[in-house]
Amino acid sequence: MIPPKFDYHAPGTVDEAIGLLQKNAGDAKVLAGGQSLLPLMKLRLAEPKMLIDISRIAKLSYIQEDPELLRVGAATKINDLNDSQVIRSRYPMLADAGAHIADPLVRNMGTVGGNVCHGDPGNDLPACMLAIGARYVVRGPKGDRTIAAKEFYRDTFVTALDPAEILTEVQIPKAQNGDGGAYMKMERKVGDFAIAAVAVHLRLDSKGTVTSAGIALTNVGPTVLMAGKAASSLVGHKPTDADFLAAGKLAAEAAQPASDMRGPAEFKKGIVQTLTRRALHLAWGRAGGKS
């Protein structure tokens, strides 16, 4: 369980880090909290020759709400997300997810950026980012570009990030009156990755009609998945439990789970169906919906 030898750099700026990534193309990896990368290296599933530690770039750690967006710096610790009053009061889906990631030690080291960049279908934050319509700001040798979270995940551990690019900021549409979200996760034991988990986000107008919806699924496919039909089935309705049940069935159809040590595929689809219905009820209540 000892990783192979590697060089270590701790640059003071993002541009310096990008320069190192570019100069050592193919050999260098970004290190943030190390909670995913270091276990892979210990198992020799990843053998980068150089680690570029971005955790000391202070300007990458912040949570700011401005008139348009919630901005979360890539190196913000998951624990900081959980402790943020803005997140807890206005973006409860993120607080739900953050509280169920691993354990306090991992959350104290692991970063939001590492969680969304790793490309593991079991990571909890990507589904939230898809459901809420987040965008990722990445910087590379050619400057900044923005990628919608729903375009970011290509396959297991494969993302739209180029090798010399660094995620600098996650941008989330600012919460409005009538917004509500929830994340629900079934795990074998506290601290484990999900058997299955569901992120839902609803926006209601003043009459309680759903004007937009996002539903995304964790650990039931090669990568995080959108349940687009389930979400669009709710738009234009003042939903009832029957609508939430139907959306749960559509979400289960969108899931592509494999049978593994966390259970058979059909069981996982059942979990998706149940969690979607429950998460929709919770999100609906948080959005101010009344039956």
Ligand X SMILES: Cc1cc2nc3c(=O)[nH]c(=O)nc-3n(C[C@H](O)[C@H](O)[C@H](O)COP(=O)(O)OP(=O)(O)OC[C@H]3O[C@@H](n4cnc5c(N)ncnc54)[C@H](O)[C@@H]3O)c2cc1C
Q: Which residues bind ligand X (CB under 6 A)?
A: 29-37, 39, 54, 74, 78, 101-102, 106, 109-111, 113-115, 117-118, 123-124, 161, 166-167, 191, 193
The answer to whether the Cα torsion of 188, 191, 195, 199 is positive or negative is: positive
CA atoms within 13 A on the CB side of 146: 9
Minimum distance between the CB of residue 165 and ligand X, rounded to whole angstroms?
7
Give, to the nearest 10 degrees, the angle between helix 92-99 and helix 125-132.
170
Amino acid (one-letter) located at 84 = S
The DSSP secondary structure of 240-263, one letter per residue, reads: -HHHHHHHHHHHHHH-----BTTB
Query: Which parts of 66-106 are beta strand (E)?
Result: 69-73
Minimum distance between the CB of residue 160 and ligand X, rounded to whole angstroms?
11
Minimum distance between the CB of residue 289 and ligand X, rounded to whole angstroms?
28
List residues bridging with 210 in a β-sheet.
204
Question: Quick one: which H or E segment has residue 157?
Answer: none
Minimum distance between the CB of residue 108 and ligand X, rounded to whole angstroms?
10
Query: Which parts of 156-249 are beta strand (E)?
Result: 158-159, 166-173, 179-187, 194-204, 210-218, 225-226
Minimum distance between the CB of residue 238 and ligand X, rounded to whole angstroms?
34
Position with the least CB separation from ligand X: 114
List residues bridging with 196 in a β-sheet.
186
Cβ proximity to ligand X: between 74 and 198 the closer is: 74
Cβ proximity to ligand X: between 126 and 289 the closer is: 126
CA Rg value for the chain = 19
Cβ proximity to ligand X: between 113 and 180 the closer is: 113
Minimum distance between the CB of residue 150 and ligand X, rounded to whole angstroms?
18
Minimum distance between the CB of residue 27 and ligand X, rounded to whole angstroms?
13
Rounded-to-integer distance, Cα 31 and Cα 16, Å = 14
Minimum distance between the CB of residue 90 and ligand X, rounded to whole angstroms?
21
Give which of 107, 112, 19 is closest to 73, Cα–Cα: 112
Cβ proximity to ligand X: between 74 and 129 the closer is: 74
Give which of 167, 172, 176, 151 is closest to 81, Cα–Cα: 172
Rounded-to-integer distance, Cα 31 and Cα 54, Å = 6
Cβ proximity to ligand X: between 78 and 217 the closer is: 78
Cβ proximity to ligand X: between 116 and 210 the closer is: 116
Cβ proximity to ligand X: between 47 and 241 the closer is: 47
The DSSP secondary structure of 213-239, one letter per residue, reads: EEEEEESSSSS-EE-HHHHHTTTTS--
Cβ proximity to ligand X: between 153 and 193 the closer is: 193
